[in-house]
Structure formats: structure tokens, C-alpha cells
Structure 1
Amino acid sequence: MSPPNLRAAITLAPHRFLLSAWPWRALAYVSAGTVGGVLIVASVDLLLRYTTITEWPWYWEPVVILVVLVAGPAGTPLVAPWGRLCEGLVGERLERPTATGSSPRLWRDLVYTLLSLTVLCVLDLAVIVVALGVPLAGVLNFVDAPHLNVHERCASVFGWAVLWPVGLYLIAGWAATRSEIARAVLSPREGRLVAELRDVTSSRAALAAAFDEERRRIERDLHDGAQQRLVAVKTTLGLARLDLPADSPAANAVREAQAQVTEALSELRDLVRGIHPQVLTERGLRAALLDVSARSASEVEIDLDLAERLPGAVESTAYFVVCEAIANAGKHAPDATVRVTGGVRDGGLWVDVTDDGPGGANPDGGGLSGLRHRLAVLAGELTVDSPPGGPTTVRLEIPER
């Protein structure tokens, strides 16, 4: 698996670092940081070289500095986007801010521009010179040294050339540090946290969708495989009983086996419903909850106003949360009537599970916390209203998207 950024590439696999593309990406990143400063220095040099003034007055240096300080902020629309683009060389590319006017993000862009054209640019050049220029100077100095023989020249050149790989580590270390500085200025912590939270939420939703799809597959395999085989076994046993005397020991054994297969089928059907009921897949949430109400020990009334099918993940999550709420109501208020009402409102699904039991349910109990965690995968919410004396209402809300 490729490291996600330069810092990870150095720390996780330093022995393989030079064999990857990261050293060259780091060199390109640091070199890109010198572009602005080099342009400014080159412009000043051309001005001094080709000016018609033979002797500059004493105040020319403060004027040049003032011009640079004024031109720096003017270059913010170019320097800041260039910095965000270059961040993609050593890690994740920074997103372009959408704020306008005098927002703090524009001030951050201005600060980054000044840093990039002054301190960071000087350090970029210094690191490149030390890491690559010094070994190059050593190699050129000894490659034709007249006072050394061939073996001494080769050894000296090799010794200086070995410093180039070391210099690549130096450049990579500075590039990782420079990237942290740039990201701290261009991408504030709040923005990074929001981006990370968005990624975590997306990953969690994708994981939940994959888990739900896997449960559907297991349900299909059990329904089409094991369940059908048990039905075939039960039918075969029934045919075998027809060929045996009614009161014979063999007939009694076959009858017992048939009863056990019937019980196994019942348990398997309950298991399949617990994994992912087929009626939910084929007919939707309302039909699945009506099936639950028909099998529930408590009296359950279903009143859902759903004109059309909801996304599969929403239906599945709502189904299991409502089933758990019904089961909790039956456990804590076995004689109570449970009413399930709900519908779609403001682009989201809402469902109320109300029982006329004694109330007093703990909103932070372990079972309800588990339901909240299940709903959080889809950015849903669970609220509980259970005053002493009842009734208890558990409300779930899930956005459709």
C-alpha cells in the first residue's frame, strides 16, 4: 500500500524511501517553493543590470524592499493557489476556499504569500544548495584534481557523491516540515477536521452499505440453500412415513425426525428474518413492519405513510431500530399496546414507536445507545420521551441522503 503522504513515506519505510518516487516529489515540491523568490530576485537583478542610472541614490534599497512588500500581497491570487496545488506533490491536495471578501481565509492566503516569498523561499534555496550543491561542488573539485592519483580521485568523488542520497533525505525532511507549515496557514485546523469528519462519515456509510449488502447475500444463501434443503428433507420424510406401518418404531422415528426438521425450519426462518427479512427487500419498510406486528407477542399497530420506496440503507436501518424498540417495549411493558407511526417529512424519514406502558425509560440506557450508534451511520438521530407514568415514545429520524 502506497504511503498517503511524504511524512508517512519517510517514517514508515525509510529503507525503501530512495527507491520510490517520493524523493523526487519532495525535490519538485521544494523547487516549486523557490519560484516566487527567484522571479523577484531576477526582476531586481534585471532592473539593476539594464538601468540607465549609473549610480543609485542611497534610498534605493528601502524603495526596492517597499516595492517587494507591496507586490507580495498583490501576488496572493497566484501564490496561494500555487501553494495549494504544490501540496499535492507531498500529500493530499488542499481544496480551494470558497469564502470571499475579508474572510479569515483570505488573510491566511496573504500570510502564506508573504512567508512563501521571504522566509520559506530562502530556506528552500538553502536546503537545495546544501543537499545537492555542496556534494556537486565536491565532486567537481576532485574529479580533475591534479595533486591526486586516479584511485584517490575516484575515492574522493565517490565520497562526495554518496552525500547526494543523504541530501535527498534532507530535502524530504524539510519538504515534510514545509508542508506542515503551509497546511497550518492555508488550511486551518477547523477546516481539516471538517474534511476528516466528512471522510470518516463517508467511509462509515460505505461500510454500513457493504455490511447491509453482505447481510442480504447471507439471507439469500440461507433462503435458497439451507432452507430449501430442509424443506426437501421434510417432504422426503413425509413420503417415507406413508410406506411405514402407522404404529411401527420406524414410523415413530421418522415422525420425530420430521418434527425436528419442522422446528429447525422455524428457527432458520427466524434467523433469516433477523439477518435481513426478504419481505423488506421485496415490499419495503411498511410491509416488513406489518410482518413483525403479526408475529409479535404484544399488540402492535402500524401506521406508516410511505408513498414510495426509500433507499435500501434507510429502510434497513429503520427496520432494525423499530424492531429493537418494539422488543424493548414488549420486555419492559408486556401488556402495553405499541403504536408505530411515521412518514417522510423535509426530505427525511421519521418514525415514532409509542407504548402506553409505565414510562420512566432511561434515555441513555445500553439498548438505546446501541440504536443511536446504528442511526449515526446514516447521520440519523434518536430521541426518547418517557415521563413517569408513560407513555414512552422513541423517535428516529433519518435523512434520505
Structure 2
Amino acid sequence: MLVQRLGAPSDFDPLLERARHARIVMLGEATHGTYDYYRLREQLTRRLIAECGFSFVAVEGDWPDCDRVHRSVTAAPRGSADPLTALERFERWPTWMWANAEVARFCRWLRAWNVDRPDTARAGFHGLDVYSLWESMQAIFDYLGEEDPASLEAAQDAYRCFEPYGKRPEEYGLASRFVSARCEQEVVRLLARTRQQAASDGADRFSAWQNAEVVAGAERYYRTMVAGGDDSWNVRDTHMADTLDRLLDRYGPQSRGVVWAHNTHVGDARATDMAGAGLVNIGQLARERHGERAVLLVGFGSYRGGLVAAPRWGSPAEAMTAPPARPGSLEDRLHELMPERAVLVFGGADQPGWVTGTLDHRAIGVVYDPGLERQANYVPTRLGERYDGFVWCDETTALHPLPALATPGELETYPAGM
């Protein structure tokens, strides 16, 4: 194991050396609202793009929202001249995950990097998640209305199937338990049509196909969610892994992708108690599909500090303070052993027991109550198996959300708000 004190972007060199041989680099976060994670992840991603030739960034966000950002950072037609404008249009709660000053700074850098490069060499920005059923339906209508009116019927049939449930797809999922309310056949027709169209080259065609994949994934997700249990988690993470693979195919055989998502998605689930519950995640799926040498998984963590989260589902974001980590936890151990900031790279035969053994590892979602810190928010983890590297910040500060009018978000499942 290697430990590198972290003080400047050049201190990421040990991770960059490992990343040079990877096709996929996943960068995590222990919360969705910590400035330090976003800032350090940004610095590392800049180097991956500029020095290692990575092709795109794919985040734990919705495809339609992120597609507007993608058009801006790649200077594509109909794209905003300033990525900040696209980020300010994020409406689905929790908006602060991506509509924040830290992501805006990165996206402005990415646009500046791209505009001096050929169109085919520009790095993209995409969303992996499954929640944007209605937004994706609207995007499909917009595309088909201009490019393929003959296919509108399939989209209209799918829309009419969901329409009785308003814009609350979880109500569709509930209804599907008791009556013949499933929209599977209509969604399959829509997906087949857009998949066929996507065989022709073109970014708009690919985006329409991906929006249809989101509709299909959302239909499965909400139907599974109301059935109880944790299966909807697997539907969601499998959808994100499939989207990542489609992006790699889209960018070509030499393409390479960076993923930004919570540690619970990035760190290999087989090295946690998630495996005992039958849960998988995108880190595990990427290793299984592409091989461990082609995938670099990097977790992030801290001992205490500021963050942005909400006290209840759908409520406004607040600046909060995470108390010192639970005694005996991984974070408590790192607080004793590590400098204030450090990069850890795992491997070799000399790894200490706290790397190879099982310790509780903190995980905070978009809903957080610091008063319940000792009872929740920890995932038993074998650190050296879950990640290939780890970025440590002893104390953190909260990120800076952009002003946004949030609409209620769809329900999410275990681990809550990840």
C-alpha cells in the first residue's frame, strides 16, 4: 500500500499512474454535499482528461438534464454558451448534487478545454441515472417530432399508458401490483423503434435512444420498488452500468470514461454487507464486465465536517455538520493514522489489517440527521477490496449550491438517498 500526502493536484500522480492502464475510473464521495470531495474529484478528472485522454464524464444524474450540460461543454448546436445556464435548469430534487458552484467550475473548464479541439475529440458530460421518466418522454417527443414523425405513435402509446398516474411514476408501480397497468409492451415498442433509429450515426439519435432506455428502466424500477425489498436498487445500478457501456460503445473502441457517483455505487458491493443482501452496484458490474485491470475504483471519506443535505425527503437543502466518526470505524482509524489529506493506493502484500479486515465505513445520503450518526450511515467494508484507491480528508466543508427551484424528487431506495 502507498500513502501520499495530498496538497496539490500533482500529488495524485500515484493514482494517475494506475489510471493510465484503465478504461474506466470511478470517483466516489461519502456524501452528496461536501465541497472537498467535489473539488478534489474535479482536480483529478481534469488530469484524467488532459493527460490520459479520457473521453467523457458520466455522473449519478438524469440523462436529459446532463444532456443540456453536455451540449454546452462540447459547444454543440443549441447548447448554452455558459454551462452554468444549463446547470441552473436542474429542477428535480435534490438539485444541489449537480447544480452547484463546484460542478459549474469544472464544466466551464471542460468547455474551454473542448473548444480548441476537433468535434470528435471533445470530452462529454452525461447522466447515468434512471429517474427522469417524464423528462425523457418529453425529450423523445421533441426529437421524433422533428426527425421521425412516423415513430410518434409508439411514443404516444407509451405516454398514454403512464398518463393516468400523473407525474408520480411510483403510483404506476403501485397500480401494477393490483391491476393490468403495466406499460411494458408500449415501452418495448418505443425502445425497439428508437434503438433501430440509433443505428444511424448522430448524437441526437443516440440521445433519443438513451431517453427510451431511461423510460424502460424507470418502468422496471418503479414496478420493482413497490413490490418491496431491495431489488429496485439492482435495477437502478444495472441501468447505470448499461448506460456506461453504451457510452463507451458510442465514443469508440479506444474510449475511456470517468464516473462520478456515491461510494455506495462506486465501491465494489462484494466487499460490503450489500453482497449478503443480494445487492450489486456499478463498481462491481464494471469489474465483472471489463476486468479488474481495466477499472479503477476510488473512494472518498472524512472524519468530520460540513456538508449539504436535507433533514427530510423533498425538504430544502441545509448546511450541516457531520460529527466525528463512530469510534472503531474506518474513518476513526484513518483520523489516527493519516495526515490531514492523503491519497491511498492499495495493493501488494504489506497491507495493514484495517485495509484487509472489515470496518464500518461512513455513507451519508441526501437525507441526513447528524443526531442519528451513531445508529446509521455506516457500511461494513473491506477497504482494500472495495476500492483500488482512497482519498482522505480529515475535515471537510459544505459545497455551494446554485439557486434553484426544486420539484419533488421520486422516491429512492436502500441505501436511502444514495
Normalising by structure 1, report the TM-score. 0.22
If asked which structure has higher relative contact order (CA below 8 Å, sep 6+), I would say: 2
Richer in strand (by share)? 2
Normalising by structure 2, report the TM-score. 0.21
